[in-house]
Amino acid sequence: MKLSVFILIVLIVLNIESYRSEDKYSSYKCIGGNDYPQDAMKRHCVFHNLCHKAGEGDVLHYYVNNRLPRKPVLVHSNLYLYDFGDNFLQLGTFEKFSKQWGPSISQEPVPSSFPFDNSSRAIFYQSFAETNPGHFFDFLHSVYALPALLGYKPSKDIRVLTHSQSHYVKKHRAQLLSALTQYEPVQLKDMGDICFNKIFAGAGSLSMLEGSTFASITGINMRNYMLDNLNFTKQTSSDIQKHVIIILEKATDAKSSDGKGSSNNFNHFTNHGDLVDYLSGKLSGVAEVIGLQPDNMTWTEQIAIIRKASVIVTPPGGIAFLAMFAREGVSLIISDKNYRGVTVREVSLVGSDDNWWSNVQRAFNFLHYPVCNSWENDGDIVVTIHRMYYVIILGMILVENEQIGANIKSKISDIWPVVTNSTFSGEVDVCALTEENFPLKSWEVK
């Protein structure tokens, strides 16, 4: 009798342990942050087996086995903190605009009744200002770079979960996002009871608009991955037979109710048409000059034209980000600006564009066009044409020295070898170039 009872107890215990062994719990791995609460901006993580409950907004549950000891999540002075709290990591790339967040601890197994999402991975992100291409590219970079930093290969099988305070992705941007994910973005608060195999979070130091970030490592890789997924084949050096110079121009948005309008209403090239005409005449037979205002074009149409270029000239601001998809080895000439009403020249691009291009410039010949006087920018940019011509000629020569320009038939460096050798060396004050002392005044294809 006693033996039978003992056997029965053993069987019950074994059955319970067998059941428990099928339970799922959460886990996570992070890089950066040193486990200090104040380092949320530097922390990048992947979580396994997080779940969302219908009606709980932006809460994701992290399930722990309360029968087992676990590692402290954070260390604060002499305190071991075993909960993530609400400041574990930064959901977006901009500290002052992005929420800090952490999953909620639940001392139970993953609910067996909850289905798992059909994506193999997801990213939880708070996007900011999708109306601004620069911030949208930060969003794209986070989708690509977070898994890469944590040791995962790129995959379009990744779902974007956005925080409730995110901006929605505008329709004309969805084509670019589709190069990174096969799913439409969804706000987490709108989802029901569901679990996720892997969730990446923590985009704090991934901004391409900030200096000293991981973007200098992953930015160009993201660009190449997107080009492949958008079916743009990598073009060889033999594809450039002739210089193509593209002069970008911004659209003008209607003013908003406050009368200010968007940033598209500033920093145009006011004499864009004159610049195109001047270059077309000066470089006839050597280069095709295209004036491009890319509104009302799809992203693939815009990229297709940009990838024909040997030299791209662009105003500062969001439109410049289109140039990122140019072929490696081409020259990008981006105008800087003066702030309106300021008489002291400021060598700077709009916003944080300088940081963006410093993170990807290894792929291009990057050149500034200097705005030298306050009258050259009263909100828009009046291009000093002979000065821009000097920078464009330099850009053409730089491309000719790259492998991609090896097969260009009419090379500036062959047409004017003596002048090019003496003009682009030593120290040249570009702002001091006038029509009287301009070294390229006679440079015209005969």
Q: What is the pLDDT of residue 351?
A: 44
Q: What is the pLDDT of residue 14?
A: 44
* Ranges of the chain whose pLDDT falls below 70: 1-21, 128-132, 167-172, 209-213, 233-239, 252-265, 337-356, 359, 417-423, 437-446
Pairing of strands 44-52, 194-201: antiparallel
Pairing of strands 100-101, 287-292: unpaired
Q: What is the pLDDT of residue 233?
A: 66
| Pairwise CA distance, residues 139 & 127, whole Å | 6
The full set of domain ranges for the chain reads 22-227, 238-252+262-432
- Other CB atoms within 10 Å distance of the CB of residue 191: 15
The architecture in CATH of the region 238-252+262-432 reads 3-Layer(aba) Sandwich (3.40)
Average pLDDT, rounded, for the chain = 80
Q: Burial-class residue 56 by CB neighbours within 10 Å (0-12, 13-18, 19+).
A: middle
For residue range 251-289, what is the model confidence (pLDDT) as tens digits?
765 444 444 444 556 778 889 999 999 999 989 888 999
Rg (CA), the chain: 28
For residue range 411-446, what is the model confidence (pLDDT) as tens digits?
887 777 655 556 677 777 888 877 776 666 555 544
Break the chain down into helix, strand, coil percent, rounded to 5.
35, 20, 50
Decide: helix, strand or coil at residue 351.
coil
